[in-house]
Amino acid sequence: MTDPHARRRPRGRGGRSVSREPGPGLFRDIVLAPDRERIPEARPVISLGGGEDREFEREVRKRIREELRLRRRGLELGRVAELEPEGLLPKRPRRSRREVIELERWVSARPIFVPEGASRVRGALVSEDLPALHAALLEPSGLRALLEQRASRLGPAWSIEPSDEAVLFDPERDLARIRVAREEADGERVEVWVKTGRLSLAKDDRSLRVRVFFGIEGDDDASADPLRHAAVREFAERILPGARSLAGATELWQRIERLAGRPVQPAAHIAYWNAPNGGARFHHDAFPEESGPTRQLGVLYAQLTGRTLWLALSIEELAARVREFVGWIREGEMPWLREQLGEAWGAIHRATERRAPTLAALAEPNCGLFAPFLDGPEFTAFLVDAGHALLLRPGDALLLPNHGLDRTAMHSVFCASKEPGYALSVAIRG
């Protein structure tokens, strides 16, 4: 792996013809590194820093498709370039081989990119004024207004509680939470809830999410209750823009069922607006343990407007990269970062001496003791150059497999648009 703090800065963007093979030097060392990840169907992404390697700049200018600034919650995390893939990636394999590779990635909990996998869902958004809806939902009163406006879509079986929840799960970020109920034919009431909340407390981050679920937030997140999951699915598909169309994306769901080896259903719906300066820090979607007839097998993320840049890899891969990165620090690289880590360095050093403690820490909320550097500019550039970055455009889908805390997809998200982009995230349950 290339020295993680070797930073480069291209001096221009170009539409020059692309040679079939990259030239020698730093550029080749990065993009053709034997251990660089190559996410199938995704264009290569590399980091841009402050080096003066003219040959590197020349190679980047030949191939650059787009340059992006990574900024999240007030932190500048560097710049990256998405490249045209000609000459940088192996020949696309035949369909049968692609299916084998995809299944291998599913089993190992590595991200699966499906370009234009949700393109048909975008047609369902034509009648939606998503910017206006986003602005309205940023106000605490916006959620109830949305439910009242769309009450006719729910039908007579559904009722909306007359008052908002008095106690919010996350009072700093949550904006509103409302209970709704569906009356069954036998008279039983099935309750679910919907809430709005900010993704961060950063003043200029207008990122927002709308989550639909049931029960006690946190405690019941891993519940397998089929009746309430069905109620969540029905309610979300009637209220969230594009949710019903996503559920009807037959080809995409058949692909997921082939990978899962069983019938699956969308569940635990979340609508996102990732806004400039927003996104999500490294996390996973696994649960400590699950019981019942079904379990969460992963997450389907559909980018419907705007764009997001992702760092996505299995927890095993992330553990290996963390240990490699810490090894660089141990050998004297990035002395400023070791100084910044202060007293935490000792625990980080010890945890990365063995694989198991590294995995255990990454599975903790906010990635445990690795949080001080995991979402920083140095490690971000390191992962980008290791091949774990990809750019999602409108209509693209991303599968994040999940087989438990020790085999799940880890991911970090950045807004890559000038305006907030709308997306749907649904659990894959089967």
Q: Residue 315 — φ and ψ, nearest 5°?
A: -65, -30
User: Could you tell me the CA-to-CA distances from 311 to 38, 236, 391 in Å, in that order?
Assistant: 13, 28, 9
As beta bridge partners, residue 198 has 208
| Residue 185 binned pLDDT confidence (cut-offs 50, 70, 90) | confident
User: Could you tell me the CA-to-CA distances from 351 to 220, 239, 377, 380 in Å, in that order?
Assistant: 31, 45, 22, 20
Distance in angstroms (rounded) separating the CA atoms of residues 113 and 336: 36
Q: Tokens 């390191």 correspond to what residue?
A: 382
Distance in angstroms (rounded) separating the CA atoms of residues 210 and 424: 10
Distance in angstroms (rounded) separating the CA atoms of residues 193 and 215: 8
What does the pLDDT average to over 381-409? 97
User: Which residue has better confidence, 187 or 328?
Assistant: 328
Question: What is the chain's percent helix, strand, coil content, to nearest 5?
Answer: 35, 25, 40
Count the neighbouring beta carbons within 10 Å of the beta carbon of residue 145.
12
Contacts of 277 (CB under 8 A, 6+ apart): 71, 72, 73, 74, 202, 204, 205, 415
User: Each residue of 283-326: pLDDT tens digit?
Assistant: 999 988 766 678 999 999 999 999 999 999 999 999 999 999 99
**pLDDT surpassing 50 at residue 12:** no
Whether the CB-CB separation of 305 and 125 falls below 8 Å is answered with yes
Contacts of 298 (CB under 8 A, 6+ apart): 106, 109, 260, 285, 399, 400, 401, 402, 409, 427, 428
User: Each residue of 75-119: pLDDT tens digit?
Assistant: 999 999 999 998 888 889 999 999 999 999 999 999 999 999 999
Q: Tokens 């079939």 correspond to what residue?
A: 20
| Residue 73 binned pLDDT confidence (cut-offs 50, 70, 90) | very high
Distance in angstroms (rounded) separating the CA atoms of residues 426 and 406: 21
Distance in angstroms (rounded) separating the CA atoms of residues 251 and 6: 43
Supply the DSSP symbol for 281: E
Q: Of the ranges 112-116, 165-169, 194-198, 298-302, which one carries the lowest mean pLDDT score? A: 165-169
Q: Of the ranges 45-49, 240-244, 278-282, 342-346, which one carries the lowest mean pLDDT score? A: 45-49
Distance in angstroms (rounded) separating the CA atoms of residues 226 and 295: 10
Q: Residue 226 — φ and ψ, nearest 5°?
A: -65, -35
What does the pLDDT average to over 167-173? 94
Q: Tokens 């407007």 correspond to what residue?
A: 305
User: Could you tell me the CA-to-CA distances from 11 to 14, 57, 82, 285 in Å, in that order?
Assistant: 10, 6, 15, 39
Instruction: Render the burial of 157-195: b for 16+ CB within 10 Å, e for the rest.
Output: ebeeeeebeeebeeeeebbbbbbbbbeeeeeeebebbbb
Contacts of 251 (CB under 8 A, 6+ apart): none
Whether the CB-CB separation of 402 and 395 falls below 8 Å is answered with no
Q: Residue 428 — φ and ψ, nearest 5°?
A: -100, 110
Distance in angstroms (rounded) separating the CA atoms of residues 78 and 68: 9
Count the neighbouring beta carbons within 10 Å of the beta carbon of residue 364.
12
